[in-house]
Each structure stands twice: as structure tokens, then as C-alpha cells.
Structure 1
Amino acid sequence: MDWLPVASVVLLALGFAYTNGFHDTANAIATSVSTRALTPRVAVALAACANLLGAFFGARVAQTVGNDIIAAPTGAVGLSVCASALLGAIGWNLLTWARGLPSSSSHALIGGLGGAALAAGVQVRWAEIVDKVVIPMLVSPIVGLVGGYLVMAAILWIFRNREPVRIARGFRLAQTVSASAVAFGHGMQDAAKTAGMVMLALTVGGRLPAADGPLPVWVILTSALAMSVGTYAGGWRIMRTLGRRIIDLDPPHGFAAEATAAAILYAATALRAPISTTQAITSAILGSGATRRFRAVRWGVVWDIGIAWVLTFPGAGLLAAACSALLGALIR
């Protein structure tokens, strides 16, 4: 097959990585910015660097996305499915970004893959999706809620007799580490998903023998760079939602949420589960905030985020299916 169609899909995947970067910037740094542990520019630069480094440790997630979600055929049909999935995910990212809603780029991509494959008559590996996507998608927010609550409760107990001003100062410094840890996990998860899509495009385009083989360094590097550039571009709308609109955070609560989210991301990567960074950090913020009082959480904002989560799979899937039907008609 000619290089041009394959290269076009690869560029589209890098475009998705860019939107993923500015869409999910807030995942890693919103809490640190809102507690004034880091200035916005420093936080974004830190997140971009950590995203880049984390990408080199996400091969397991890349193989899941590139090999376990659909059985894409080689040739034009396979490439059209890849392109349609990416277009659906990009469209959903832009739509939710415009509304300031922290939806999942990961679930948008996987929903896009499923929708594009169904529209093209390509096999969807439902058992793998349930095992590696749906179950982790349901479990990770629960773990985030419980974990965020327990970590914050432990902090409150350990430092119960300390001066609040000194505690806040110490946790502002600690948030530099915890925010970097979340950004590193984001790189492991989300840059790796783009790398998996690039691998899938190269495989169906006949440029690689299998999508489950070792990841070429250039695939990891370009995917990570595209996402890091998007991260540096910033996602200020979503940052305001996570950092200020859900609950008013202080440094200890921000640290508890970030530490919990980072642990979830690392565990999921080890299990090859492409989970949502957005879900991990949002649920951890809610869990840490719940140690105050129920009414401290702005539940109307949480409801809007929940609706966006529920709609992400079908929304991105429908957009991708429409693109798949259009591209399918063009290549026939």
C-alpha cells in the first residue's frame, strides 16, 4: 500500500494526541494550580515533561489499544476504521473541551474504535473491551473515591496537632511531586494509547507485521511529543472545572487527590488497562473533599461531569460511525 494513506492516519493520530494533551492538562495540574502550589505556566511545563517521560513506560497499554480492541483488516478498510475512530475521538474531545467538561479522551478513543468498526462491519473484541476497559472504567472511580478519602483521613489524623499554616506550606511543596506523578501516569496511559493507534495504522497499512510487537522508539517519541505540545498549550477551561468548580481545595486535599490518582494510573498500566486519567483524578478529588462535609462538594458540577462520562462511549462512537460510513462510501 502507498505510504500516503498510512501517513495521513498517523498524522491524524498525532492530532488526537495534541487534543488529548490540551484536553487532559487539567488532570495532572489543576489541583496544584488551584492550591497555588505551582504557577500555571510552571505546572503546564512540568506536566508536559512528565507526560513525555511517562510515554516510554506505557507499552502494555499501547498493545491493548493496538491489538485487543478490534480485529481490523489490512488495507483501505482497516485504515478507514482507524481514521474514523480518531476523528470521532477528536470531535468528542473538542466538544467537551468547549463545554469545560473533563470527559475521558481514552474512552472517546475506544468508543470511536468500536463505533467505526461496527459501521464498517469489522469484528469488535467485546470480551477484551469488557475485561480491559469496562470493568476498570467502573472500578477506578470507586477506588479513587475510597482511596482519596482514606489518604486524606490519614493526613488529617497524622497532622492533627500541627499548625495548619505550616502543614499547608509543606503540602504545597509535596504537590510538586504528586502532580509530577499524575502527569507521568498520564503519559504512561494516554501517550501510549496514541502510540497504539499509530501501531495499528502501520499494521493494517502493511508497514509492520503485528500490532502486538515491540513499539518503535519513533512511535513513542512522536506520540509523546504531540501530547506534550498539546499539554503545554493548556486546557484552562477544564482546569477551572477540576481545580475550582467541584470543591475548594487546599494543599493537603490536593496532595491526597493527586497521590491517589497516580497510584491508580500506575496499577492500571501494569494490568494493561487503558483507564481514564480524568476519572481517576476527579473521583480522587471527590474522595478527599468528602472528608470535609457533604455540602462542600458542588454536586451540580459533578452531575454534569457524570453525564459527560456516560455519553462519551456512545457519543464518540456515533461520531466515528458516521465518519466510517462516509469514508467507506468513498473507498468503494
Structure 2
Amino acid sequence: MSYDFASFAAAFVSDPILALIVILTLGATVVNGATDAPNAIATVVGTKAMKPTPAIAMAAICNFVGLAGITMVSSAVAATIFKMVDFGGDNHAALVALAAAMVAIIVWGVAAWYFGIPTSQSHSLIAGITGAAIALQGGLGGVNGGEWMKVVYGLVISTVLGFGTGWLFTRLIKKACRRAERSKANSFFKWAQIVSGAGVAVLHGAQDGQKFLSLCMLGIMLAMSGQSGGDVSFPFWLIIMVSAVMALGTAVGGKKIIKSVGMNMVKMEQYQGFAACLSACFCIGLATFTGLPVSTTHTKTTAIMGVGAEKSLRNVKWGLAGRMVGTWVLTFPGCGLLAFAFTHLFLVFF
């Protein structure tokens, strides 16, 4: 079956369910760009290495480059998400369930954005498609346990490794620069932080963008060919479309998240901001090229906490951190239940 743009456009116009799936998936991608992507450059703004507007513009461009460029080399994360659940043999019901999952993800993400909480859209996405698959299959039969375990491995990387490398890189930088002139060191780390922040934004585009790319492709395949199993290749036009939409979301939203993560959680100096970005680059890059779906928000936030904890545990505002962790903990059951309920509701009307 050909998935060229002309064939897709014809199917999009003639099939309202496919149109709904694509629009909802791209809508969720916009929400991700507005809520998750700003975390990549939050520390760059928090340390005043860049002003918010140019930093957000940089993140938007890097998101686009990351998803479009890295996906051409490795689509391991997209493949993991594609195989994580099975919506069954009824294509119409599967498309309805996928639409319900997208609605749940958007509702959850918009609520988090409104309150300025950097919730994980990655966790929302995983919870949403899992809840929808359970509703459709009437149990856990539609969940691929082997692929789902990669989520657990990703949580370890984002939490333990994120915090640990944030602490370690800060300690190593302090030792390496203990005799350096402060003004020269600050000037160096200002630019190093901008470069590393751009790197985090590139990797965010690849890691999070591939998740939504995968779901968009799943909807297209179900609607156009009735197939959703086996290996999948992503057409270039779809990669560019999802990349552009994510970049748009980053450009139009994000200042609340930047304030919560980069300025409220930990007061940082230039070298600390660089250590946090370097830690996030290492962890997200490792997960992306090994096919582990991680939360870029989770990873960057725990890296910031590790940086703050290196100097003193009192430097971290644990109340704010606890509120964020509580949101992450609630995401799996909360968004999952929303998708479960929306699936049953949508099946009644559609």
C-alpha cells in the first residue's frame, strides 16, 4: 500500500474518521510543543544566558531539525510506540479508540499547561493509548508487555540517571574550573549552555516527536489499508508535517513552563545550567537511540534537581518538585482512565 502524500490527501478528504485522527494527533503534537519543549531551554532563560523570545525561537527550530533529521537515521522510539498496544481487528473501532486516546491526551495536556505544571506529554500519550486499548479489548490483551517495559526502563533513565548525571557533571565542572577566572568562566558557560540547550531541544524533537509521528502513522495505516502490524516506515512528508506542527507549538507557548522549571525550582549559575543541559542531552540521547520512550520533561527536571542538590539540598525547592512528581504519578491512571472513558463514549456515538 502506497502512503504517498497524494494518496493520503485523497483519503483525508473522503474519510472523516481519518481526518479527525490526523487533526487530533497534530493537535496533541502542538500541545507537546507548548508544554514539553520549553523545558529544553528553561535553564538557558533562568540563568539569563538568553532572553525568552529568542530562546523559544531557537527551541522551535531545533525541535523541527531534531525530529526531521534524527528520524531519518533512527526511528527506534516511534517503532516502540507503534508496537506498544493492539487495537484489535475492527478497523473502525480501532480508529475510534485512537481518536479517544488523542482527546484524552489533549485534555490532560491543556489542563497542565493552564496551571503551568510541566507534566509529561510522553506519559500522557502512553497512558492514553493504553487506556483506549484496554477499553477496546476489554482487558490487558491489547497491551504488549515487552514494549511497555521499556517505559519502566525509561523512567529509571529519566529519574535516577537524570538526577545522578546532573549531580556528577556539576561536581566535575567545579573541580575542573576551580582555578579559572570567574568572569571568563561565566562567559564560556553562557555560550556552552546555549549550545547544550539547543542540543536538548534537538533531542526533544526526536524523542517526543517520534511518539506522535508513530500514532499519526498508525491512524493512516488503519484507515487506508486496514493494517497496523509488522515493520513500519515513515514517509518523509509525514515527518516534515509533524516536525513543523511541533515547532509551531513551541513557538506559540511555553513561558509558564520556563518560569516553573528554569526560574522557580532551582536558582542556578551559568555552569550549573550547562551541567543540567549536558545531563539531559546524555540521558535523552541514550534513550532515543535505544528505543526507550522517556519523558523529556522528567529528565530535564530531575537533572536540574541533581544540579541543585550538588551544592546543597536546600537549594532545591522540593515543594514544587513534589507537585511535579505528583502530577507525573497521576498521569498514568488519570489520562488512562480518561482515554478508557472517552473510548466507551465515542463507540456509542460513532
Q: TM-score range by the shorter chain?
A: over 0.9
Paired residue for 2:31?
19
What is the CA-CA distance between 1:129 and the residue it aligns to? 4.3
Decide which of 166, 179, 191 is 1:173's aligned counterpart. 191
How many residue pairs end up in the alignment? 331
The answer on 1:239 being equivalent to 2:258 is yes
What is the CA-CA distance between 1:266 and the residue it aligns to? 1.1
State how 1:37-186 maps to structure 2 within 5 Å: 37-56=49-68, 57-58=70-71, 59-121=75-137, 123-186=141-204
For 1:250 and 1:208, how far apart are their aligned partners in 2?
54
What is the CA-CA distance between 1:222 and the residue it aligns to? 1.0
Decide which of 331, 339, 346 is 1:320's aligned counterpart. 339
Contact 1:30 1:242 in 2 (8 A): yes
Contact 1:26 1:242 in 2 (8 A): no
What is the CA-CA distance between 1:74 and the residue it aligns to? 4.6
Contact 1:32 1:254 in 2 (8 A): yes
What is the CA-CA distance between 1:138 and the residue it aligns to? 3.0
Paired residue for 2:41?
29
For 2:292 and 2:270, how far apart are their aligned partners in 1?
30
Change in Cα spacing, 1:265 to 1:33, as seen in structure 2 (3 Å) is: same
For 2:86 and 2:133, how far apart are their aligned partners in 1?
7
Cα deviations by residue, 1:230-283 (Å, 9 ceiling, x for unpaired): 000121111111011111011111110111101111111111111100011001
Cα deviations by residue, 1:104-137 (Å, 9 ceiling, x for unpaired): 1011011000111112226432413442112211
Q: Which amino acid counterpart does residue 113 of structure 1 have in structure 2? A: I
Point out where structure 2 has 5 or more consecutive residues left out of the alignment.
1-10
Change in Cα spacing, 1:218 to 1:317, as seen in structure 2 (3 Å) is: same
Decide which of 280, 285, 290 is 1:271's aligned counterpart. 290
Provide the identity percentage: 34
Decide which of 218, 224, 244 is 1:225's aligned counterpart. 244
For 1:20 and 1:137, how far apart are their aligned partners in 2?
18
What is the CA-CA distance between 1:201 and the residue it aligns to? 0.4
Contact 2:86 2:143 in 1 (8 A): yes
Paired residue for 1:257?
276
Contact 1:65 1:193 in 2 (8 A): yes
For 1:7 and 1:297, how far apart are their aligned partners in 2?
45
For 1:292 and 1:72, how far apart are their aligned partners in 2?
52
RMSD: 1.6
For 2:341 and 2:166, how far apart are their aligned partners in 1?
39
What is the CA-CA distance between 1:311 and the residue it aligns to? 0.5
Contact 2:123 2:331 in 1 (8 A): yes
Decide which of 325, 328, 337 is 1:309's aligned counterpart. 328
Contact 2:63 2:246 in 1 (8 A): yes
For 2:41 and 2:175, how far apart are their aligned partners in 1?
26
Point out where structure 1 has 5 or more consecutive residues left out of the alignment.
none
Q: TM-score, normalised by structure 1?
A: 0.95
For 1:24 and 1:73, how far apart are their aligned partners in 2?
34
Q: TM-score, normalised by structure 2?
A: 0.91
What is the CA-CA distance between 1:71 and the residue it aligns to? 4.2
For 1:22 and 1:8, how far apart are their aligned partners in 2?
21
For 1:16 and 1:226, how far apart are their aligned partners in 2?
10
Contact 1:101 1:241 in 2 (8 A): yes
For 1:82 and 1:42, how far apart are their aligned partners in 2?
36
Cα deviations by residue, 1:159-196 (Å, 9 ceiling, x for unpaired): 00112222111111111210110000001011111110
SS in 1 for 2:336: helix
Paired residue for 1:299?
318
Contact 2:159 2:299 in 1 (8 A): yes
Q: Which amino acid counterpart does residue 179 of structure 1 have in structure 2? A: G
Contact 2:91 2:226 in 1 (8 A): no
For 1:124 and 1:251, how far apart are their aligned partners in 2?
47
The answer on 1:189 being equivalent to 2:207 is yes
Contact 2:87 2:137 in 1 (8 A): no
Paired residue for 2:7?
none
SS in 2 for 1:205: helix
Paired residue for 1:214?
233
Q: Which amino acid counterpart does residue 260 of structure 1 have in structure 2? A: S
